[in-house]
Amino acid sequence: MQLNMILLGPPGAGKGTQASHLQRLWRIPHISTGAMLRTAVREGTPLGKQAEAIMASGGLLNDELITALVEERLRHDDAHAGFLLDGFPRTIAQAESLDRYMSGRALVIVELALSDENVVKRLASRMVCHNCGTNRQDEGVYPTCHDCGGPLVPREDDKEQVVRNRLEVYRTQTAPLIDYYQGRPTFCRVDGAQLFDNVREDMVRAVKKALTLCSD
């Protein structure tokens, strides 16, 4: 069955890692806000040019423009059989616009839950390759990047105060989406503090159960 999915969770919850697995398993595109913006700008679409001009001037993209960019991306051929959204929606207004765009088609929503303290602890141990930018959290085992062999260094945006500021932004802007979605039968919550394999298994199990509900 077609999987149209939204992945929610705080920074450091492991959304990108888990999304990569779900993308391969269901053979659907993993659409993140950052990648979507870069693609639109690179392709020079009208919306991409508009977004580029706003970002170049230091402005923030409003809900209307972000939503239009997402809908433009969802019209690509590779998203017709399903998609996984990561980083969108971020606001209630964006969620309402997405519901209108879906026109009654089912959405599976998975929250990857992680406490603030676990987020801070996890991101404090995260390293990034100085050369290629690959993230790692097992630097004790692999002191250099497994992709290119470059040195691993701490990420500037993973310093504790920066992380706590990002969490505050998440709570005020994005966490209300949990209240918006959690009453739906296709909403799932997965404990992100578990070992990676356990999180992956729980996510796959939750998504399969939600898809069963979609088909009823």
d(CA 17, CA 137): 12
Q: Which residues are catalytic?
A: 15, 90, 126, 155, 166
Find the DSSP H helices in 27-102.
33-43, 46-56, 63-74, 92-102
160-184: pLDDT as tens digits: 677 788 788 788 877 889 999 999 9
Distances (CA, A) of 19 to 22, 56, 143: 5, 29, 25
Helices (H) and strands (E) in the chain, counts: 9, 8
pTM: 0.78
CATH code at 202?
3.40.50.300
d(CA 186, CA 113): 16
Per-residue pLDDT of the chain (216 residues), as tens digits, is: 789 999 999 888 888 889 988 999 999 999 988 778 888 888 898 888 988 888 777 676 899 999 998 999 999 999 999 999 998 998 999 999 999 999 978 999 999 999 888 888 877 766 677 666 666 555 445 567 766 778 876 655 456 677 788 788 788 877 889 999 999 999 999 999 999 899 999 999 999 999 998 876
DSSP-assigned states of every residue in 165-208: HHHHHIIIIITHHHHHHTTSTTEEEEETTS-HHHHHHHHHHHHH
State the DSSP code for 153: E
Tokens of 58: 């230091």
d(CA 138, CA 49): 39
Distance of alpha carbon 165 from its chain centroid, rounded? Answer: 18
What residue numbers bound the domain in which 172 lies? 3-215
* Number of domains present in the structure of the chain: 1
